[in-house]
Amino acid sequence: MALEILPIRTGGAAENMAVDFLLLQRYPPSPGLRRAGPQAAVPRFRHYGWRGPAFTFGYAQKIAFIRGTLPPGETFDLGRRPTGGGLVDHRDDWTYALVIPRGHPLEEERAAQSYREVHEALAAALRDQGVPCFTKVSQGEPAGLPSEASAKEGVCFQRAELYDVVHGNSGEKIAGAAQKRNKHGLLFQGSIWRPAVGGPVDWDKFHDDFAARLATVLGTAAEQVPWPDLNEDEVSGLTEQYSAPEWLEAR
C-alpha cells in the first residue's frame, strides 16, 4: 500500500469540494487492489488550484456571517465545504486534501491527534526550506500574534488554534485545516496562507517533501498515480449540488 499522489488540477469552488468528497466516498481501488471491502482502499493526497478568486467556508457556518465577512465590493467563487472549520481565503493559498481510509491507525486516532500529525509533517517540510514554523501546542495565543488577529472568530487565518502551524518569528498562522470522518474514512482539507510564510519557498519541492513526510506518518511510501476513474456524472451532479443555493444557504 502506498500514499497515492494525484495530479494537480484546477477547479471552481463547488467542483473542488465535490472532488474532495468523492475521493472519500467513491475512490476506485488501485490496480491490483480490486477486491471489495475497506482493505482495498489506500490513502491519497492531492494539491489543487482555483479557477478564480475563491473562498470556502465550514459546513456548519451561517451564510449570513459569511456574506457579512467577505471583502465588500468584490465578486468571489463561494463554496461550502463538506468539512468544518472557518472561512478560508483561497486567493493566495496552497490548498490540499488528504484522504485516509477507514481502519488505518491514523484514521482511528482522535481528531486532535490526526490534525497534529499532518500539521507536524507540513511544518517540517516548510522548515526544510528555512521557514521558521511550528505547531501550536497550547490553547494560549502564540508569542507575537497581533492582538487584532483573534478579533474575528470563524475566519480561518485570523486566529491560530491548537496544532495549527504558526510562524516562529511573527506568530502568524500559516496553516489550518478541517476534518470529516464517516464510514469510509477521514477527509482532511488543508490550506497554507502563503503571505504568512514570509521568505521564498519552492512550492514544487514543498509538494514532494510534504507528500514524502505524510507517507512516513502513514507508514508507507509516496507514489505518483494517474487521475482516478471517477464517475463523471457523479462528479457533475455533486458539483451542481454544491453550487446550488440550497447547499450554500443551508444555514
Instruction: Give the model confidence (pLDDT) of 80-99 as tens digits.
Output: 999 988 999 999 999 999 99
Closest CA relative to residue 17, chosen from 69, 105, 83: 83
Please confirm, yes or no, whether 133 is among the known catalytic residues: no
Q: Tell me how long the chain is.
A: 251
Query: Which CATH superfamily groups domain 3-132+175-248?
Result: Bira Bifunctional Protein; Domain 2 (3.30.930.10)
pLDDT digits (tens, 9 = 90+) for 14-62: 999 999 999 999 876 655 444 444 445 789 999 999 999 999 999 999 9
In 149-184, at which residue ranges do the beta strands (DSSP E only) sit?
A: 165-167, 173-182
Joined together, the cell numbers standing for residue 137 give 501546542
Low-confidence ranges of the chain (pLDDT < 70): 28-40, 139-153, 156-157
243 contact partners, CB below 8 Å, separation of at least 6: 14
pTM metric for this prediction:
0.88
Catalytic residue among 156, 160, 214, 248: 156
Give the β-pairing of 9-11 and 222-224: unpaired
